[in-house]
Amino acid sequence: MKFVILGLAAVVAAVMVFFMIQGECSSGKIVATESECRQFFSAELCRVAHQQADYKARYEYAPFPNQDACDRAFPRCMPHGAVRSGFVPVPRSVCVERTAGGIVGTPIYQKHGQTVSYQ
Q: Give the predicted TM-score (pTM) of the model.
A: 0.72
For residue 95, give Cα distances in angstroms to 9, 26, 85, 86. Answer: 32, 9, 28, 24
d(CA 91, CA 83) in angstroms, rounded, equals 18
Mean pLDDT of 84-98: 94
pLDDT for the residue 15:
41
pLDDT for the residue 115:
58
